[in-house]
Amino acid sequence: MAEGTSLPDSASGLKISGLTADSRNVEPGFLFAALKGARTDGSLFAPGAVEAGAVALLCAKDAEQQLRAAIPENIAVIAAEEPRQVFAKMAARFFGAQPDVVVAVTGTAGKTSVAHFVRQIFQSAGHPAASLGTLGTIKPDGISYGGLTTPDPVALHRELAELEAEGINHAALEASSHGLDQFRLDGVRLTAAAFTNLGRDHMDYHATIEDYLCAKLRLFEDLLPDGGTVVVDPAEKYADRVLDVAGRRGLPAFTVGETGRDLKLTGIRAVGAGQELTLQTARGEYKITLPLIGRFQVSNALIAAGLAIAAGTDSGLVLRSLENLKGAPGRLELAGRTASGGLVFVDYAHKPDALDNALAALKPFATGKLSVVLGAGGDRDPGKRELMGAAASRNADLVIVTDDNPRSEDPAVIRKAVMSGAPQAIEIGDRFDAIAEGIHRLNAGDILCVAGKGHETGQIFGDTVIPFSDHEAVQHAISLEGDT
Ligand SMILES: CC(=O)N[C@H]1[C@@H](OP(=O)(O)OP(=O)(O)OC[C@H]2O[C@@H](n3ccc(=O)[nH]c3=O)[C@H](O)[C@@H]2O)O[C@H](CO)[C@@H](O)[C@@H]1O[C@H](C)C(=O)N[C@@H](C)C(=O)N[C@H](CCC(=O)O)C(=O)O
Ligand SMILES: Nc1ncnc2c1ncn2[C@@H]1O[C@H](COP(=O)(O)OP(=O)(O)OP(=O)(O)O)[C@@H](O)[C@H]1O
Ligand SMILES: N[C@H](CCC[C@H](N)C(=O)O)C(=O)O
Ligand SMILES: [Mg+2]
């Protein structure tokens, strides 16, 4: 068994027909993991799980006594210091098979893009491949949407086993900080792991930036096995912390970017809607035309190339495949052109840094004005709202503040917080009306960026998801312009 997948002695010899951390999914013969969560404590559901047929329970050491008292004596109880980690390792053992090559990427921004690129690179090198993350699972025959960026361990390990059974021998995973912190990826056998960057995000979940960084560092400290390669751009803030881990553990590092050693970027030149990159490699100099705009897509493409090379794909094939990369849906994606000659892009920027980067990427293409429609999510870090407004007003000539998944919050309160960073902004709560107004104001050479929702297909109010797609809204608003 691979390093990092050992289980407590009490778990050996246990025969179970399935496992779950949700009592509502228990079937006869299952192991139920009674985990303390953010909202409730799984132990409360242990008696119900036993009634539904659970034959074994996993719990935290400090919950063991109370749990044993609440259930019949014949039920096996495994108590662990880190029950979530043990649960993930059990899921890995239970489902068993995984694609031969699995790589993972963490970072505040760029995970989806990198995973999307790595999948395309593997495919074009002839390896059937999948990516798993915010967009769901994407494989050669289609896409299935999962809900979380990093699925829970049971869903993840089931999926990996299914991929292997389908002959998909290469996979790229997005490792979210929640996923790492909650041990969702433990037990995945990784060949290489990458770090993109670290900016402000999820400060509602992580107490400090250091805490957030430490969650990300788990990928390199705990999950990447000995011999696994660390891929990083040393010029990124906090990359030194990732490289420290690699150094301490004696892991090989593959470095990219301007100060990188393995894929050294020595030039970028804008060519149409693409960028010509000059790269120095162990095999000499390459000139590659990346068919994507935005400096950050260069970073993402180099990290993706690094992961694929570190995973054993021929570097010549990898670098040539960069010329055919397609951006992930909703990441700086051209969503429409108006009759007046304006361009509309949809981008998933929902964090201050991402807005800065997305707008900076579009600016050179706007011979006229640059405008942006944005909101901020409800039930998410309120501290980022004003900063997002400020990033928008710093970069754009016109800012329209609207709603983006208010969830349980009052949308007007969220908009007000965003407006506090962008006092000159126009406020239009209804997202379609906001997009239509942005489009209406476009003249020749202008660019509108519709930010925050990217690939999403719904607007969340309370517990209700109302179908909404920025792409469709853009197309519809453009068609209405034609009618006037
Ligand atoms: C805050 C958070 O991350 N929560 C995740 C966590 O839930 P939890 O354990 O805290 O749940 P809880 O509701 O307190 O319940 C505790 C336990 O009781 C169990 N329970 C509960 C009710 C019941 O009737 N029976 C029962 O057994 C639950 O299954 C759970 O095991 O573990 C669950 C299983 O892995 C996750 O589904 C859940 O994600 C929630 C839904 C979520 O919204 N997560 C988001 C914030 C998230 O993880 N996002 C990241 C990052 C995205 C990004 O990078 O931007 C992602 O990877 O998607
Ligand atoms: N390397 C990067 N550096 C800075 N910003 C980036 C980078 N890559 C992408 N972005 C910005 O972040 C947005 C989200 O990108 P992407 O979906 O690839 O990241 P992610 O890490 O998967 O995000 P999430 O955690 O929300 O799923 C993009 O639409 C773009 O605005
Ligand atoms: N994974 C991110 C996505 C945010 C997307 C944005 N549209 C929002 O709802 O805030 C989150 O759940 O925080
Ligand atoms: Mg993502």
Residue 429 sits in a domain of what CATH number? Answer: 3.90.190.20
Q: What distance lies between CA 6 and its chain's CA centroid?
A: 27
Please state the length of the chain: 484
Distance (Å, whole) CA 333 – CA 113 = 12
Residue 304 lies in a domain: yes
pLDDT per residue as tens digits for the range 87-119: 999 999 999 999 999 999 999 999 999 999 999
Q: What is the CATH number of the domain that holds 102?
A: 3.40.1190.10
**Given pLDDT bands bounded at 50, 70 and 90, which one contains residue 199?**
confident
pLDDT per residue as tens digits for the range 404-418: 999 999 999 999 999
Q: Indicate the pTM of the whole model.
A: 0.92
Q: Which two tokens stand for residue 464?
A: 């209700």
Among 47, 75, 93, the domain boundary falls at: 93
- pLDDT of the residue at 147: 84
| Whether residue 287 is found in the same domain as residue 310 | yes
| Whether residue 228 is found in the same domain as residue 144 | yes
| Whether residue 316 is found in the same domain as residue 458 | no
Residue 360 lies in a domain: yes
Q: Quote the ligand 4 centre to 110 CA distance (angstroms).
A: 7
Q: Which residues surround ligand 4, an ion (CB under 5 A)?
A: 111-112, 134, 149
Number of separate domains in the chain: 3
Residue 165 lies in a domain: yes
The CB of 348 under 6 Å from ligand 2? The reply is yes
The Cα-based distances of 439 to 95, 329, 331, 448, 483 in angstroms read 50, 21, 19, 7, 13
| Whether residue 164 is found in the same domain as residue 313 | yes
| Whether residue 153 is found in the same domain as residue 253 | yes
| Whether residue 284 is found in the same domain as residue 342 | no
Among 93, 124, 153, the domain boundary falls at: 93
- Residue with CA nearest ligand 2 atom 8: 110
The CB of 197 under 6 Å from ligand 2? The reply is yes
pLDDT per residue as tens digits for the range 1-17: 333 445 666 666 678 99
Distance (Å, whole) CA 476 – CA 382 = 31
Residue 69, SS3? helix
Contact 116, 149 (CB under 8 A): no
Residue 328 lies in a domain: no
Which residue positions form the known binding site?
A: 23, 107-113, 149-150, 176, 182, 184, 380, 404-407, 452, 456
Contact 41, 119 (CB under 8 A): no
Residue 4 lies in a domain: no
Q: Is the dihedral of CA 236, 241, 242, 246 positive or negative?
A: positive
Which structural domain range is residue 36 located in?
A: 9-93
- Residue with CA nearest ligand 3 atom 11: 380
| Whether residue 145 is found in the same domain as residue 185 | yes
Residue 70 lies in a domain: yes
